[in-house]
Structure 1
Amino acid sequence: MTVQRATTTLWRPTGPAELELVRELDWRAWPPRLPEQPIFYPVLNEEYAVRIARDWNVRHDGAGFVTRFEVDTEFLRRYPVRQAGGRTILELWVPADELDTFNAHIVGTIQVVREFH
Protein backbone atom coordinates (compact mmCIF):
# COMPACT_ATOMS: atom_id res chain seq x y z
CA MET A 1 0.00 0.00 0.00
CA THR A 2 1.41 3.38 -1.02
CA VAL A 3 0.86 6.30 1.31
CA GLN A 4 0.44 9.56 -0.56
CA ARG A 5 1.75 12.57 1.33
CA ALA A 6 -0.17 15.82 1.43
CA THR A 7 1.19 18.55 -0.82
CA THR A 8 0.77 22.29 -1.15
CA THR A 9 0.66 23.99 -4.53
CA LEU A 10 3.14 26.84 -4.97
CA TRP A 11 3.81 29.15 -7.90
CA ARG A 12 6.94 30.95 -8.99
CA PRO A 13 7.17 33.75 -11.55
CA THR A 14 10.40 33.46 -13.48
CA GLY A 15 12.29 34.84 -16.41
CA PRO A 16 13.83 32.93 -19.32
CA ALA A 17 17.28 32.46 -17.76
CA GLU A 18 15.99 30.86 -14.56
CA LEU A 19 13.52 28.76 -16.54
CA GLU A 20 16.35 27.37 -18.66
CA LEU A 21 18.19 26.34 -15.48
CA VAL A 22 15.04 24.59 -14.22
CA ARG A 23 14.84 22.76 -17.56
CA GLU A 24 18.49 21.66 -17.16
CA LEU A 25 17.52 20.25 -13.74
CA ASP A 26 14.85 18.09 -15.45
CA TRP A 27 12.00 20.25 -14.08
CA ARG A 28 12.59 18.83 -10.58
CA ALA A 29 14.49 21.59 -8.77
CA TRP A 30 15.20 25.29 -8.54
CA PRO A 31 18.75 26.43 -9.30
CA PRO A 32 21.01 27.82 -6.57
CA ARG A 33 20.55 31.47 -5.75
CA LEU A 34 23.11 34.02 -6.85
CA PRO A 35 25.16 35.69 -4.09
CA GLU A 36 22.91 38.75 -4.21
CA GLN A 37 19.81 36.52 -3.80
CA PRO A 38 19.79 35.33 -0.17
CA ILE A 39 16.12 34.25 -0.31
CA PHE A 40 14.08 32.05 -2.68
CA TYR A 41 10.48 33.34 -2.93
CA PRO A 42 7.79 30.92 -4.07
CA VAL A 43 4.32 32.48 -3.91
CA LEU A 44 1.04 31.07 -2.65
CA ASN A 45 -1.34 32.05 -5.43
CA GLU A 46 -1.33 32.13 -9.19
CA GLU A 47 -2.72 35.68 -9.46
CA TYR A 48 0.30 37.14 -7.67
CA ALA A 49 2.69 35.05 -9.79
CA VAL A 50 0.96 36.26 -12.97
CA ARG A 51 1.35 39.90 -11.95
CA ILE A 52 5.09 39.52 -11.38
CA ALA A 53 5.71 37.46 -14.55
CA ARG A 54 3.64 39.75 -16.76
CA ASP A 55 4.48 43.14 -15.25
CA TRP A 56 8.06 42.69 -14.08
CA ASN A 57 9.71 39.76 -15.88
CA VAL A 58 8.49 40.80 -19.33
CA ARG A 59 9.75 44.35 -18.82
CA HIS A 60 13.16 43.24 -17.50
CA ASP A 61 13.74 39.95 -19.35
CA GLY A 62 11.54 40.11 -22.45
CA ALA A 63 9.41 37.18 -21.23
CA GLY A 64 7.80 35.98 -18.05
CA PHE A 65 6.65 32.54 -17.04
CA VAL A 66 4.42 31.29 -14.24
CA THR A 67 5.38 27.91 -12.88
CA ARG A 68 3.41 25.63 -10.59
CA PHE A 69 4.77 22.88 -8.38
CA GLU A 70 3.86 20.78 -5.36
CA VAL A 71 5.81 20.61 -2.11
CA ASP A 72 5.38 18.31 0.88
CA THR A 73 2.97 20.20 3.17
CA GLU A 74 4.51 18.99 6.42
CA PHE A 75 7.95 20.22 5.32
CA LEU A 76 6.58 23.67 4.38
CA ARG A 77 5.44 24.33 7.95
CA ARG A 78 8.98 25.49 8.75
CA TYR A 79 8.47 28.56 6.53
CA PRO A 80 5.92 31.09 7.78
CA VAL A 81 3.69 32.71 5.18
CA ARG A 82 4.78 36.31 4.58
CA GLN A 83 2.38 38.99 3.44
CA ALA A 84 4.38 41.15 1.02
CA GLY A 85 1.72 43.76 0.37
CA GLY A 86 -1.99 43.31 -0.15
CA ARG A 87 -4.15 40.54 1.25
CA THR A 88 -3.36 38.15 -1.63
CA ILE A 89 0.35 38.96 -1.94
CA LEU A 90 1.61 35.94 -0.03
CA GLU A 91 4.98 34.24 -0.30
CA LEU A 92 7.37 31.95 1.51
CA TRP A 93 10.92 33.03 2.29
CA VAL A 94 13.29 30.11 1.86
CA PRO A 95 16.90 30.95 2.80
CA ALA A 96 19.25 30.26 -0.12
CA ASP A 97 21.30 27.82 1.95
CA GLU A 98 18.16 25.69 2.47
CA LEU A 99 17.21 25.48 -1.21
CA ASP A 100 18.69 21.99 -1.73
CA THR A 101 16.55 20.69 1.14
CA PHE A 102 13.51 22.56 -0.21
CA ASN A 103 14.10 21.03 -3.66
CA ALA A 104 14.25 17.55 -2.12
CA HIS A 105 10.66 18.06 -0.91
CA ILE A 106 9.23 18.99 -4.33
CA VAL A 107 6.73 16.30 -5.32
CA GLY A 108 6.58 15.69 -9.07
CA THR A 109 7.79 18.23 -11.58
CA ILE A 110 7.78 21.99 -11.99
CA GLN A 111 5.31 22.96 -14.72
CA VAL A 112 4.98 26.11 -16.80
CA VAL A 113 1.32 27.16 -16.64
CA ARG A 114 1.45 30.68 -18.14
CA GLU A 115 3.74 32.55 -20.52
CA PHE A 116 3.98 36.26 -21.31
CA HIS A 117 5.98 38.10 -24.00
Structure 2
Amino acid sequence: MSTTRRTTTLWRPTGPVELALVADSGYRAWPPRLPEQPIFYPVLNEDYAVRIARDWNVPASGSGYVTRFEVEAGFLARYPVRRAGGETILELWVPAEELEEFNRHIVGRIEVVREFHAPA
Protein backbone atom coordinates (compact mmCIF):
# COMPACT_ATOMS: atom_id res chain seq x y z
CA MET A 1 0.00 0.00 0.00
CA SER A 2 1.37 3.42 -1.01
CA THR A 3 1.47 6.30 1.44
CA THR A 4 2.21 8.85 -1.29
CA ARG A 5 -0.08 11.86 -1.12
CA ARG A 6 -1.27 13.48 -4.32
CA THR A 7 0.04 17.03 -4.40
CA THR A 8 -0.29 20.16 -6.50
CA THR A 9 2.72 22.32 -7.29
CA LEU A 10 2.32 26.00 -6.46
CA TRP A 11 4.64 28.96 -6.84
CA ARG A 12 4.92 32.12 -4.79
CA PRO A 13 6.77 35.29 -5.78
CA THR A 14 8.27 36.87 -2.70
CA GLY A 15 10.60 39.58 -1.54
CA PRO A 16 13.57 39.31 0.82
CA VAL A 17 11.67 40.02 4.05
CA GLU A 18 9.06 37.31 3.51
CA LEU A 19 11.74 34.88 2.29
CA ALA A 20 13.73 35.43 5.49
CA LEU A 21 10.65 34.48 7.51
CA VAL A 22 10.17 31.36 5.37
CA ALA A 23 13.83 30.48 6.03
CA ASP A 24 13.19 30.92 9.78
CA SER A 25 10.52 28.19 9.50
CA GLY A 26 13.04 25.78 7.97
CA TYR A 27 11.41 26.41 4.57
CA ARG A 28 8.25 24.66 5.76
CA ALA A 29 5.71 27.46 6.26
CA TRP A 30 4.57 30.87 5.09
CA PRO A 31 4.53 33.64 7.70
CA PRO A 32 1.29 35.14 8.99
CA ARG A 33 -0.13 37.95 6.88
CA LEU A 34 0.18 41.54 7.98
CA PRO A 35 -3.07 43.37 8.84
CA GLU A 36 -3.12 45.00 5.39
CA GLN A 37 -2.72 41.56 3.72
CA PRO A 38 -6.05 39.73 4.13
CA ILE A 39 -5.20 37.14 1.47
CA PHE A 40 -2.24 34.85 0.81
CA TYR A 41 -2.07 34.13 -2.89
CA PRO A 42 0.11 31.39 -4.31
CA VAL A 43 0.08 31.18 -8.11
CA LEU A 44 -0.42 28.23 -10.42
CA ASN A 45 2.46 28.66 -12.84
CA GLU A 46 6.10 29.61 -12.69
CA ASP A 47 5.90 32.17 -15.50
CA TYR A 48 3.38 34.30 -13.61
CA ALA A 49 5.50 34.05 -10.43
CA VAL A 50 8.60 35.12 -12.38
CA ARG A 51 6.84 38.19 -13.74
CA ILE A 52 5.75 39.30 -10.25
CA ALA A 53 9.14 38.59 -8.63
CA ARG A 54 11.09 40.34 -11.39
CA ASP A 55 8.74 43.19 -12.26
CA TRP A 56 7.24 44.01 -8.87
CA ASN A 57 9.40 42.64 -6.03
CA VAL A 58 12.73 43.85 -7.48
CA PRO A 59 11.63 47.50 -7.87
CA ALA A 60 9.86 47.40 -4.49
CA SER A 61 12.60 45.78 -2.42
CA GLY A 62 15.75 45.28 -4.53
CA SER A 63 15.28 41.55 -5.04
CA GLY A 64 12.59 39.05 -5.89
CA TYR A 65 12.42 35.31 -5.51
CA VAL A 66 10.28 32.59 -7.04
CA THR A 67 9.48 29.74 -4.70
CA ARG A 68 7.98 26.36 -5.51
CA PHE A 69 6.20 24.08 -3.09
CA GLU A 70 3.79 21.15 -2.97
CA VAL A 71 0.43 21.15 -1.20
CA GLU A 72 -1.96 18.25 -0.67
CA ALA A 73 -4.30 18.37 -3.67
CA GLY A 74 -7.39 17.33 -1.72
CA PHE A 75 -6.94 20.23 0.68
CA LEU A 76 -6.56 22.75 -2.15
CA ALA A 77 -9.94 21.80 -3.60
CA ARG A 78 -11.56 24.26 -1.16
CA TYR A 79 -9.92 27.20 -2.96
CA PRO A 80 -11.29 28.00 -6.42
CA VAL A 81 -8.75 29.01 -9.06
CA ARG A 82 -8.97 32.76 -9.65
CA ARG A 83 -8.04 34.44 -12.91
CA ALA A 84 -6.26 37.69 -12.09
CA GLY A 85 -5.80 38.81 -15.68
CA GLY A 86 -4.94 36.84 -18.81
CA GLU A 87 -5.48 33.14 -19.36
CA THR A 88 -2.32 32.08 -17.51
CA ILE A 89 -2.56 34.58 -14.65
CA LEU A 90 -4.04 32.13 -12.18
CA GLU A 91 -3.86 32.15 -8.40
CA LEU A 92 -5.50 30.80 -5.28
CA TRP A 93 -6.82 33.15 -2.61
CA VAL A 94 -6.23 31.80 0.87
CA PRO A 95 -7.80 33.96 3.60
CA ALA A 96 -5.17 35.08 6.11
CA GLU A 97 -6.98 33.33 8.96
CA GLU A 98 -6.60 29.98 7.12
CA LEU A 99 -2.87 30.27 6.43
CA GLU A 100 -1.78 28.27 9.47
CA GLU A 101 -3.95 25.35 8.33
CA PHE A 102 -2.72 25.80 4.73
CA ASN A 103 0.87 25.50 6.01
CA ARG A 104 0.04 22.16 7.67
CA HIS A 105 -0.82 20.78 4.22
CA ILE A 106 2.49 21.73 2.59
CA VAL A 107 4.36 18.56 1.65
CA GLY A 108 8.13 18.85 1.85
CA ARG A 109 9.99 22.14 1.79
CA ILE A 110 9.47 25.46 0.10
CA GLU A 111 12.25 25.83 -2.51
CA VAL A 112 13.71 28.97 -4.07
CA VAL A 113 13.88 28.22 -7.79
CA ARG A 114 14.64 31.64 -9.29
CA GLU A 115 15.96 34.96 -8.02
CA PHE A 116 16.25 38.45 -9.42
CA HIS A 117 18.21 41.43 -8.15
CA ALA A 118 18.34 45.11 -8.98
CA PRO A 119 21.46 46.14 -10.90
CA ALA A 120 24.27 47.31 -8.63
CA RMSD of aligned residues (A): 0.6
- In structure 1, the residue matched to 2:74 is 74
Q: Partner of 1:36: helix, strand, or coil?
A: coil
Letter paired with 1:59: P
Aligned length, in residue pairs: 117
**2:57 equivalent to 1:57:** yes
Give the structure-1-normalised TM-score.
Answer: 0.99
Q: How many angstroms does 1:3 deviate by?
A: 1.3
Provide the rounded CA distance (Å) in 1 between the counterparts of 2:113 and 2:106. Answer: 17
Q: Partner of 2:67: helix, strand, or coil?
A: strand
Provide the rounded CA distance (Å) in 2 between the counterparts of 1:51 and 1:42. Answer: 13
Provide the rounded CA distance (Å) in 1 between the counterparts of 2:101 and 2:89. Answer: 25
Letter paired with 1:15: G
Give the structure-2-normalised TM-score.
Answer: 0.96
- In structure 2, the residue matched to 1:25 is 25
Q: Deviations over 1:68-114 (max 9, x none)?
A: 00000000000000000000000000000000000000000000000
Q: Deviations over 1:12-54 (max 9, x none)?
A: 0000000000000100000000000000000000000000000
Provide the rounded CA distance (Å) in 2 between the counterparts of 1:78 and 1:62. Answer: 35
Q: Partner of 2:98: helix, strand, or coil?
A: helix
Provide the rounded CA distance (Å) in 2 between the counterparts of 1:62 and 1:5. Answer: 37
- In structure 2, the residue matched to 1:12 is 12
Q: How many angstroms does 1:2 deviate by?
A: 4.1
Provide the rounded CA distance (Å) in 1 between the counterparts of 2:94 and 2:67. Answer: 17
**2:45 equivalent to 1:45:** yes
Q: Partner of 1:88: helix, strand, or coil?
A: coil
Q: Percent identity, aligned pairs only?
A: 75
